[in-house]
Amino acid sequence: MSKLVSTEHPALHATCEPVPVSEITSPKIKKVLKDMRAALHAYNVDGFAGVAIAAPQIGVPLRIFLVEDMSPDRKDGAIIPSLVAINPEIVKVSKRKKVVGEGCLSVPNAYGAVNRSLQATIRAYDENGVRYERGGSGLLAQIFQHEVDHLDGILFIDRAEEVWDKVDEIEKTATEEKK
């Protein structure tokens, strides 16, 4: 099983290589996807669960991400579909943007405010080598943008307008809930 790499790992700060289409269904890529899922499923820091992971987060500099919402009780009611994106590219984003709260498995102690497009469309291959296009809004659009950033060597803290310590945010939320 692969584990998340530290924030300083070079794979998190470099542009990832595309997966040759002929290798998408190979044992090597199947293992990368299995390792990514294992790392995502194992993540639980201070009660925070992950919703997606990119290959560089386990030290593999390939253009792959997957979405699997590990939140046991999504409060906002959003349904996030599970999907695999190999060689994804964002083909369209809305002009309308919003500053949203964002965290990252690779930066476990930070949370931040990032300006993201409200809608985004990706074109990618699934784990069977089938090319698809998928649009998303709200949280899914945010995930698409965040994960493609990973594949381009960009962490959310590089884009954030403000970053704060996650522990401080937990305490602030707990205080507000008591009121």
The residues annotated as belonging to the active site are 147
Count Cα atoms within 13 angstroms, Cβ side, for 2. 19
Largest CA distance in the chain: 57
Contacts 24+ apart (CB under 8 A), 78-85: 78/138, 78/139, 78/140, 80/51, 80/139, 80/140, 80/143, 81/140, 83/126, 83/134, 84/33, 84/124, 84/126, 84/127, 85/122, 85/124, 85/125, 85/126, 85/147
